Amino acid sequence: DTIFIILRKQKLIFLHWYHHITVLLYSWYSYKDMVAGGGWFMTMNYGVHAVMYSYYALRAAGFRVSRKFAMFITLSQITQMLVGCVINYLVFSWMQHGQCHSHVQNIIWSSLMYLSYFVLFCHFFFEAYIGKTTKARKVD
């Protein structure tokens, strides 16, 4: 999606490039360990991105897509970040009982990444959907 934003000469927001850089670094870091929870992380990401890219395809094809659909996608991303934190907690709990192969350091990095995404996506949601509505109502 980054290439499409650049080709359309749109501005890359901090959330976009931060998210892509940190996911790339974390994936490289984690791949060698085949971390527990990784399959869940990928499955959630594929699901959210399937919906998101469908939205982008419709818009690129010239269809007018409801703002509620965009809000749903962002809320799905926020939910994904919360579930990612829950998965990290579960993996850590299972590690304590010897039922799960992972590393505490990996869980810490993953949790920090998911928490930072949660904060950034919540901020984006507020700025893109709530803040504009509030400002527009004040003008009216």
pLDDT, tens digit (0-9, with 9 covering 90-100), for 24-49: 999 998 888 888 888 999 999 999 99
Structural domain of residue 97, as residue ranges?
2-34+66-139
Q: Is residue 45 part of a domain?
A: no
Q: Is residue 50 part of a domain?
A: no
Q: Is residue 116 part of a domain?
A: yes
| CB-neighbour burial class of residue 77 (10 A; exposed 0-12, middle 13-18, buried 19+) | buried
Contact 67, 55 (CB under 8 A): no
- The 3-state secondary structure of the chain reads CHHHHHHCCCCCCHHHHHHHHHHHHHHHHHHCCCCCCHHHHHHHHHHHHHHHHHHHHHHHCCCCCCHHHHHHHHHHHHHHHHHHHHHHHHHHHHHHCCCCCCCHHHHHHHHHHHHHHHHHHHHHHHHHHHHHHHHHHHHC
Give how many domains the chain has, as a whole number: 1
- Residues involved in catalysis: 19
pLDDT band at 12 (very low <50, low <70, confident <90, very high): confident
- In this predicted structure, the answer to whether residue 10 has a pLDDT above a threshold of 70 is yes
Q: pTM for this one? A: 0.86
Per the model's pLDDT, the better-predicted residue between 132 and 66 turns out to be 66
Give me the pLDDT at residue 140, please.
42
pLDDT, tens digit (0-9, with 9 covering 90-100), for 45-93: 999 999 999 998 898 899 999 999 999 999 999 999 999 999 999 999 9
Q: How many CB atoms lie within 10 A of CB 12?
A: 12
Give me the pLDDT at residue 92, please.
94
Q: What is the mean pLDDT of the chain?
A: 89
